[in-house]
Structure 1
């Protein structure tokens, strides 16, 4: 029983270290690829903001602030930069003029698609060799992590 315990402890440590390393490497790769691309003027933080706005959702500023857990002031400053750089524009909601919807420009949509393709390749590599039940287990594991993060962050 003790050998199994040690093996499980070793697996836990491996998973913990891997999660930290993978997160760090993904961020480094994204920053490096941005610098080499035609999107040199954007930061990784701005890239994720573009991704959160999405291709066709027309999310409101309040929705994006809530999703990213940003203050409205911080979000406004970031949106001003993205708008100035030509990645997004704001439109007033036709039903409620107080609400601002966010829309990606063609440049923003191109950036979104490039970022999405990178993440799709990550998922393909992560799931290589998995069958349907393995994928369901992975999905459940990620949902468990999201739930934990939500509890810790007060979401």
Structure 2
């Protein structure tokens, strides 16, 4: 079992680092070279199909509203994000993606779909279910760590 733990840990660390490097390099060498990977993940959190409030996006990203506000200002200036005031309550501002923001979102989403398809290639349904269960366990562990960090702050 300890060999499996070491091997899985090695894969997770390597995958995490390689994925960030690949995504950063892809952005640097594209028409979206003005975007950082952190900004790309902010666009992902805003989402393509519905608008969200700043607090909803900040929560998804596990950052403060102030930190998000700075990021959104930059993304608005770069023409990736738009702010929309709600007609029924002008105090409420929802965030959405511009045409340019939607384009980079779709390209990023395509990369992720290809990555997942390649990951499960040749796996049967039981193996895919086992992978999903393991990833769900990992996600739960990370969520618990974030909750504990938030409780200390």
Q: TM-score range by the shorter chain?
A: over 0.9
Cα 1:94–1:133, aligned 2, differ >3 Å: closer, same or farther? Answer: farther
Task: Give 5+ residue unaligned stretches, structure 2.
Answer: none
TM-score of the pair, normalised by structure 2? 0.93
Q: Which has the larger radius of gyration?
A: 1
Match of 1:4 in 2: none
| Deviation digits for residues 34-88 of structure 1 (CA, Å, limit 9, x no counterpart) | 0110001010000000111111120111100011011111100000000000001
Q: Counterparts of 2:94 and 2:10 in 1: how far apart (Å)?
A: 39
TM-score of the pair, normalised by structure 1? 0.92
| 1:58-69 alignment runs, 5 A limit | 58-69=51-62
> 1:114: Cα distance to partner?
0.6
Q: Counterparts of 2:18 and 2:91 in 1: how far apart (Å)?
A: 40
Between the two proteins, the alignment pairs up a number of residues equal to 148
2:21 to 16, 28, 51: 28
> 1:93: Cα distance to partner?
2.2
Q: Counterparts of 2:32 and 2:98 in 1: how far apart (Å)?
A: 14
Task: Show structure 1 runs of 4+ deviating over 3 A.
Answer: none
Task: Give 5+ residue unaligned stretches, structure 1.
Answer: 1-7
